[in-house]
Amino acid sequence: MAKPVKDPLTGAKTTGHVWDETLQEFDNPLPRWWVWMFYATVVFTIVYWLMYPSWPVAGTYLKGFNTITYETDAGEEKTTHWNTRALLQRDMQTGTQALKQKEYLTKVAAAPYEQIAQDPDMAAFVRSYGNGIFGDKCAACHQAGGQGVVGLFPNLVDDDWLWGSKPEQITETLVNGRNGFMPPYRETFNDDQLDQVANYVMSLSGLEANKEAAVKGEQIFKGEKGGCYYCHTSEGTGMYAQGAANLTDKIWTVANVPAKDSAEEKLAAIKTVIRDGIQRQMPAFSSRLSDTEIKVLVAYLKQLSGE
Amino acid sequence: MFKHETIETNSGLLIVLTLVAISIGGLVEIIPLHYIDETVEDVRDPDTGFEMVRPYSPLELRGFDIYKREGCYTCHSQMIRPFRDEDLRYGHYSLAAESKYDHPFQWGSKRTGPDLARVGGKYSNEWHVQHMIAPRSVVPESIMPNYPWLAETELKLSDLQDRMIALKKVGVPYSRTTAEYENNVKRFGEAVAKTLDINLAENTLIAQANQGNYDGNKAKITEMEALVAYLQVLGTMVDFDKFDEEHFIQFR
């Protein structure tokens, strides 16, 4: 080491290294507070090593002295070294927020739907908790307000239900999902027949239609040629078991008829659906939501549709 | 005597010694992971004994390639951390085993879009297609770009086998020989082993695309089809209903 010397101008200590004849480096000591902070972090590290999983050793690692006790599914208490997975398990069981929610979830799980709707406390819980689930799991398709996207994803705020509005029917929809299917009729119907059936569908919901064509369309609808009545029933009121739409209630879920101005455009929209058929899928949520969460969601949907 | 000045004034030596010093830090962190048995969970179906996490089928693999090509990872992570808020929103925390065949893995700490580790089965195929073509048509507040070309671009199949061979070289158990195939049958069961056979890759891919019809277009196999097939398998391989809630704590 070069001998420490002092800088003649400032009097400060230098490292004694000299480059390019005069270029020198100050050797100022670190501030005391900084040095002590540094020592403190070293001590903290050692405590941390001892408390939490740290150094790898052979085929395993030091687990640390800190422990977490949680309850297993079988109801036994289990203690393990500190780790984030056990921490989560404990948090889900005994965390402050989790316990608060559990209190309500237990209450809702035990109550019948009418009672949930009437009890202001439970109804408020369903509104906020259900809204959270709906926002993440449902809103991507059915939209934040439940209004859906015509043609793609059904509206959940009206009174029209494709698969039924009873709590057990909605539960079934959520648990196992649904496959909405209507066969395409482009091979079955010629242009005239397509026109006639579409006119009949128009007349079903009181829209202006070609009466002559609608009469012929009715025969196809109710006859073996179309077989539409299998799912939509002879009255056209639809069938929950098949997810077949009610065609008489002026609510359109696939063909966006109300958005079309002229009768021709409305007819064309209906024709497109009959020609191409429908294939829509609602995913199953049984593995994503607990039974109670599904119940909360059903109660929330009931609130959304104003029932 | 050794002088620090020798290192400081000798740039070649300084470079070498700097590299040595930095690699010690890296090696101390990385090497032990390869020797710790518990790092990657052994996830087997309790009923059949087969491994639940399998390599991607050829169609899913091509979807993964497109996922990387389009840079989806710049906004989407695939790692659910073991926190209550993440559990409630995304589902079960990710296991190390679930990304063991990902090259490169898609973990991450930056989420501009949501985490996708368990997006499989959450939305319908139709939603994915619609969302990929025009995200704002289904999620008005979304800032995701449109990817309309995926639905039009035909999926390139000519290098499919090469891609699988490359992955095999880094340890993904795709099979080329009968012995390797038999080994896969033992590990994953016959149905899965067939999808991992490099020799049948193209047929497997076409069969899955036709059966799944992920983009609603039967005329040709598009990149959209592969990407949706990939998204629909994410996070679905391990059936957590078959395990106790605390089962995976033992691996930590």
- For residue B40, what pLDDT band results from cuts at 50, 70 and 90? confident
Distance from CA of A126 to the nearest CA of B (A): 16
Strands A178-182 and A77-81: unpaired
Q: Look at A13-17, A157-161, A207-211, B165-169 and tell me which has the smallest mean pLDDT.
A: A13-17
User: Does A194 fall in a domain?
Assistant: yes
The average pLDDT across B18-32 equals 89
Set of chain B residues whose Cβ sits within 8 Å of the Cβ of A91: 83-84
Q: Quick one: residue B153, left, alpha or beta (phi over 0 = left, psi -120 to 50 = alpha)? A: beta
Number of CB pairs, chain A paired with chain B, less than 8 A apart: 105
d(CA A247, CA A255): 11
Structure tokens at A102: 């559990």
Q: Which pLDDT does position A181 carry in this prediction?
A: 92
Q: Answer for the pair A291, A109: CB distance below 8 angstroms, yes or no.
A: yes
Q: Which pLDDT does position A1 carry in this prediction?
A: 46
Contacts of B202 (CB under 8 A, 6+ apart): B58, B157, B160, B161
Residue B158 has pLDDT above 70, yes or no: yes
User: Does A118 fall in a domain?
Assistant: no
User: Does A231 fall in a domain?
Assistant: yes
Set of chain B residues whose Cβ sits within 8 Å of the Cβ of A146: none
**What is the pLDDT of chain B when averaged over all its residues?**
93
CATH of the domain at A259: 1.10.760.10
User: Does A295 fall in a domain?
Assistant: yes
CA-CA distances (angstroms) from residue B101 to A259, B18, B79, B97, B172? 49, 34, 14, 8, 6
State percent of chain A over pLDDT 90. 73
Q: Answer for the pair B110, B217: CB distance below 8 angstroms, yes or no.
A: no
User: Does A119 fall in a domain?
Assistant: no
Set of chain B residues whose Cβ sits within 8 Å of the Cβ of A140: 123, 127, 131, 138-139
Full domain range(s) for residue A288:
135-304
State pLDDT tens for residues B71-104. 999 999 999 999 999 999 999 999 999 999 999 9
Residue A201 has pLDDT above 90, yes or no: yes
Contacts of A45 (CB under 8 A, 6+ apart): none
Q: Answer for the pair B27, B192: CB distance below 8 angstroms, yes or no.
A: no
Distance from CA of B199 to the nearest CA of A (A): 34
Give me the residue label for tokens 């995701």.
B144
Q: Look at A110-124, A248-262, B92-106, B127-141 and tell me which has the smallest mean pLDDT.
A: A248-262
d(CA A223, CA A149): 32
Task: Tell whether omega for the bond before B140 is within 30 degrees of 0, i.e. cis.
Answer: no
- For residue A4, what pLDDT band results from cuts at 50, 70 and 90? low
Closest CA to B96 of B114, B117, B68, B120: B117
Closest CA to B121 of B13, B24, B212: B212
Looking at the partner chain, which of B5, B240, B245 has a beta carbon nearest the beta carbon of A17?
B5
State pLDDT tens for residues A157-196. 988 899 999 999 999 999 999 999 999 999 999 999 999 9
d(CA A242, CA B60): 32
User: Does A142 fall in a domain?
Assistant: yes
Probe site for chain A from B7, B85, B90, B127 (most A CB atoms < 10 A): B127
CA-CA distances (angstroms) from residue B99 to A116, B70, B80? 42, 20, 12
The average pLDDT across A131-157 equals 92
Q: Is A61 within 8 Å of B124 when comparing Cβ atoms?
A: no
Q: Which pLDDT does position B188 carry in this prediction?
A: 97
State pLDDT tens for residues A11-44. 888 887 788 888 888 888 899 999 999 999 999 9
Q: Does B27 touch chain A (CB under 8 A)?
A: no
Of A275 and B29, the one with more pLDDT: A275
Probe site for chain A from B29, B52, B87, B138 (most A CB atoms < 10 A): B138
d(CA A181, CA A172): 17
Q: Is B216 within 8 Å of A279 when comparing Cβ atoms?
A: yes
Q: Is B32 within 8 Å of A284 when comparing Cβ atoms?
A: no
Q: Which pLDDT does position B144 carry in this prediction?
A: 97
Q: Does B73 touch chain A (CB under 8 A)?
A: no
ipTM: 0.85
Q: Which pLDDT does position A305 carry in this prediction?
A: 84
d(CA B197, CA B107): 27
Q: Is B245 within 8 Å of A153 when comparing Cβ atoms?
A: no
Set of chain B residues whose Cβ sits within 8 Å of the Cβ of A178: none
DSSP character at residue A3: P
Distance from CA of B176 to the nearest CA of A (A): 33
Looking at the partner chain, which of A53, A58, A88 has a beta carbon nearest the beta carbon of B83?
A88
Q: Which pLDDT does position A15 carry in this prediction?
A: 80
Closest CA to A286 of A178, A131, A164, A210: A178
Instruction: Please spell the DSSP secondary structure of chain B, one letter per residue.
Output: ---HHHHHT-HHHHHHHHHHHHHHHHHHHHHHHHH-TTSS---B-TTT--BS--PPPHHHHHHHHHHHHTTGGGT------S-HHHHHHH-SPPPGGGGTT-SS----S--SS---TT-TTTS-HHHHHHHHH-GGGT-TT--PPP-THHHHSBPP-TTHHHHHHHHHHTT---B-SHHHHHHHHHHH-HHHHHHTBGGGHHHHHHHHHHHH-TTS--SS-BHHHHHHHHHHHTT-SS-GGGS-TTGGGGG-
Comparing alpha-carbon positions, the chain A residue that sits nearest to B4 is: A1
Q: Hey, is A162 helix, strand or coil?
A: coil
State pLDDT tens for residues B199-244. 999 999 999 999 988 887 788 999 999 999 999 999 999 999 999 9
Q: Is A280 within 8 Å of B245 when comparing Cβ atoms?
A: no
Set of chain B residues whose Cβ sits within 8 Å of the Cβ of A281: 124-126
Q: Is A56 within 8 Å of B33 when comparing Cβ atoms?
A: yes
Residue A2 has pLDDT above 70, yes or no: no
Q: Which pLDDT does position B251 carry in this prediction?
A: 87
Which ranges of chain A would DSSP assign to H, the alpha helix? 32-51, 84-94, 96-110, 113-118, 120-133, 139-142, 167-176, 191-204, 211-222, 229-232, 263-276, 291-304
Residue B198 has pLDDT above 90, yes or no: yes
Q: Which pLDDT does position B90 carry in this prediction?
A: 93
Q: Does B123 touch chain A (CB under 8 A)?
A: yes
pTM score of the predicted model: 0.87
State pLDDT tens for residues A50-109. 999 988 777 788 899 999 999 998 989 999 999 999 999 999 999 999 999 999 999 999
Q: How many domains does the structure of chain A reveal? A: 1
Distance from CA of B113 to the nearest CA of A (A): 13
Structure tokens at B214: 């992920």
**What is the pLDDT of chain A when averaged over all its residues?**
91
Residue B46 has pLDDT above 70, yes or no: yes
